[in-house]
């Protein structure tokens, strides 16, 4: 059993005010392994009041002290990585080594933002008159409402909490209801590191109730959401109605272009890892494998050879390379997408169905021959499915890559500097990784364009998302 996940409000772990709870299941066994509190609107109001009390102090202690406290939290997270990883695997499914890597990376994220928060310099703009001083001050935007998902229950929470705190903002986080206990264990490290009461709060409950209330609440100034494009559009519309700033990190359908001059071994190693880690439930996972004709058959064979050897099993077993999907909704979605794909010309060269009849396991899957109007070619699968299609020339690959309204991540493999240069400007995407996988580091921008959202969850751009810019002009004469 995992620990039950309570709410963290005004510096205190406690049940919901009306005592409501909901079950949490292990996706590998389908057994109930714990419960989480279900917040009411009264609980949320208490958190906003606590955050409003905490904001002036958190802002005033300044970046050096904030950084010191955040670094202490990162240290606690790192010390507890193994223990938190086993909680994460039990509720999310990913192999325990993968969970532990995510937690260590999250400690890196906290540390990077802790340092970058010390460099919010603002700027001085040379004035037209010697008697006038013009400055731009960077200030914390205020109370943040964050919504983090279940696929990376700690890394996605880390990005929001760390950037908000480093900027000087309190944050009220709605954690993932499917994977609450590991997120709570992560937030506990901030409390124990001495982050003042009310600066970080954690909630679980009915997502729509929580987002409706917090987005409309006059005390909240900024919304940060990671999840599906459908929900992101709803929340962004509500935020617009209340003139709240947003960061929206939404879905993708990443193209991976493999040219005939590419190092196929590098492409295989990189793309197979990126496709099947976390059972494909990754917003930047490669999905449409666009492979140039001359190497299409060879690369497809290589990819199937690697994918079929992936050992699928309970993530708690160290021998498992890929765990189950995180919940039954994903399994149903995969089965429905595959059934539609097979009706639209698709051939499952590998996998295509669930594994066993207990747990939400789905086989590593490779599909060829899909018509452009198959749902799989248009909807984010968010599962271990690679869609292969051949292309003749680069223009054709670029047109297919840009066909969808998504624009989150893209991959390309080529030995030609000219082709790489052309793709760098032609692909409509927030992130492009050429000849390796180099995305999602704390220090680099992480976000999309088009229907994949706006704003960034990484790098300097993320920090600026939690700040306002005040222009001050001062006549000193
Ligand atoms: P979903 O759309 O119901 O939920 C996605 C996330 O949004 C969850 O964390 C959920 O708690 C939250 N959510 C849902 N409705 C909300 C609301 N009204 N207010 C606030 N938060 C809300 O779908 P799901 O079955 O959980 O996940 C499926 C889809 O979500 C996937 O296909 C994928 O596209 C997307 N997703 C994306 C990411 C990402 O990293 N960008 C992460 C998780 C899920």
Instruction: Calculate how far, in angstroms, residue 122's C-alpha sits from the geometric centre of ligand 1.
Output: 35
Give residue 30's pLDDT. 98
Give residue 18's pLDDT. 97
Instruction: Calculate how far, in angstroms, residue 176's C-alpha sits from the geometric centre of ligand 1.
Output: 9
Q: Which among 46, 283, 428, 457 is annotated as catalytic?
A: 283
Q: Is 151 in the pocket of ligand 1 (CB under 6 A)?
A: yes
Contacts of residues 432-435 at CB distance under 8 Å and 24 or more positions apart, as own/partner, are 433/409, 435/262, 435/263, 435/266, 435/270
Instruction: Calculate how far, in angstroms, residue 150's C-alpha sits from the geometric centre of ligand 1.
Output: 8
Instruction: Calculate how far, in angstroms, residue 259's C-alpha sits from the geometric centre of ligand 1.
Output: 34
Q: Is the separation of the CB atoms in 360 and 281 below 8 Å?
A: no
Closest C-alpha to ligand 1, atom 38: 227
* Structure-block tokens of residue 369: 């021959």
Domains of the chain: 7-250+453-473 (3.40.605.10), 254-441 (3.40.309.10)
Give tens-digit pLDDT for 241-267: 999 999 999 999 999 999 999 999 999
Give residue 1's pLDDT. 86
Mention every residue, 6+ apart, whose C-beta is less than 8 A from residue 414.
Answer: 257, 259, 261, 262, 420, 423, 434, 435
Name the nearest CA neighbour of 165 among 204, 120, 228, 214.
120
Give residue 14's pLDDT. 98
Which residue from 102, 205, 227 has its CB within 8 A of the most atoms of ligand 1, so it is best to mutate?
227
Ranges under pLDDT 50 in the chain: none
Q: Is 380 in the pocket of ligand 1 (CB under 6 A)?
A: yes
Instruction: Calculate how far, in angstroms, residue 254's C-alpha sits from the geometric centre of ligand 1.
Output: 18
Give residue 477's pLDDT. 75
Catalytic annotation on 283? yes
Give tens-digit pLDDT for 8-39: 999 999 999 999 999 999 999 999 999 999 99
Give tens-digit pLDDT for 72-112: 999 999 999 999 999 999 999 999 999 999 999 999 999 99
Q: Is the separation of the CB atoms in 145 and 159 below 8 Å?
A: no
The ligand 1 atom at the shortest distance from the C-alpha of residue 149 is 9
Q: Is 385 in the pocket of ligand 1 (CB under 6 A)?
A: no
Closest C-alpha to ligand 1, atom 16: 207
Q: Is 282 in the pocket of ligand 1 (CB under 6 A)?
A: no
Q: Which residues pair with 21 in a beta bridge?
A: 37
Catalytic annotation on 246? no
Q: Is 208 in the pocket of ligand 1 (CB under 6 A)?
A: yes
């Amino acid at each position: 059993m995992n620990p039950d996940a309570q709410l963290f409000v005004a510096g205190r772990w406690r049940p919901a005010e009306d005592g409501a709870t909901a079950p949490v299941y292990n996706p590998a066994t389908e057994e109930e392994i714990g419960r989480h509190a279900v917040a009411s609107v009264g609980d949320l109001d208490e958190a906003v009041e606590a955050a409003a009390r905490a904001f002036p102090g958190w802002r005033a202690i300044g970046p050096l002290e904030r950084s010191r406290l955040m670094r202490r939290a990162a240290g606690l997270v790192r010390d507890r990585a193994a223990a938190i990883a086993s909680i994460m695997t039990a509720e999310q499914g990913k192999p325990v080594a993968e969970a532990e890597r995510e937690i260590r990376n999250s400690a890196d994220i906290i540390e990077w933002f802790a340092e970058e928060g010390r460099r919010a310099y603002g700027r001085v703009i040379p004035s037209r008159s010697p008697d006038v001083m013009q400055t731009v001050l960077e200030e914390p935007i205020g109370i943040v409402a964050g919504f983090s998902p279940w696929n990376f229950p700690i890394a996605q929470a880390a990005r929001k909490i760390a950037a908000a705190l480093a900027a000087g903002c309190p944050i009220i986080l709605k954690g993932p209801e499917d994977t609450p206990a590991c997120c709570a264990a992560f937030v506990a490290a901030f409390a124990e590191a001495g982050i003042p009461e009310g600066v970080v709060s954690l909630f679980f409950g009915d997502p729509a109730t929580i987002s409706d209330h917090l987005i409309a609440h006059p005390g909240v100034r900024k919304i940060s959401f990671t999840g599906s494009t459908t929900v992101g559009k709803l929340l962004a519309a509500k935020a617009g109605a209340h003139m709240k700033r947003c960061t929206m990190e939404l879905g993708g359908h990443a193209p991976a272009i493999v040219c005939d001059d590419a190092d196929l071994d590098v492409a295989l190693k990189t793309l197979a890892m990126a496709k099947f880690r976390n059972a494909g439930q990754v917003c930047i996972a490669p999905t449409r494998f666009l492979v140039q004709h001359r190497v299409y058959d060879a690369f497809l064979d290589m990819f199937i050879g690697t994918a079929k050897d992936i050992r699928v099993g309970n993530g708690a077993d160290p021998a498992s390379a890929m765990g189950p999907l995180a919940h039954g909704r994903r399994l149903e979605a995969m089965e429905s997408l595959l059934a539609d794909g097979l009706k639209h010309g698709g051939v499952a060269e590998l996998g295509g169905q669930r594994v066993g009849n207990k747990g939400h396991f789905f086989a590593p899957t490779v599909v060829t021959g899909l018509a452009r109007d198959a749902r799989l070619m248009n909807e984010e699968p968010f599962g271990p499915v690679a869609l292969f299609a051949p292309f003749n020339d680069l223009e054709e690959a670029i047109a297919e890559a840009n066909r969808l309204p998504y624009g989150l991540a893209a991959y390309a493999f080529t030995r030609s500097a000219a082709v790489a240069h052309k793709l760098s400007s032609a692909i409509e995407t927030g992130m492009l990784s050429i000849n390796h996988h180099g995305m999602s580091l704390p220090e680099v921008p992480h976000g999309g364009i088009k229907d994949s959202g706006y704003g960034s969850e990484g790098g300097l751009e993320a920090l600026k998302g939690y700040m306002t810019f005040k222009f001050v002009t001062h006549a000193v004469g």
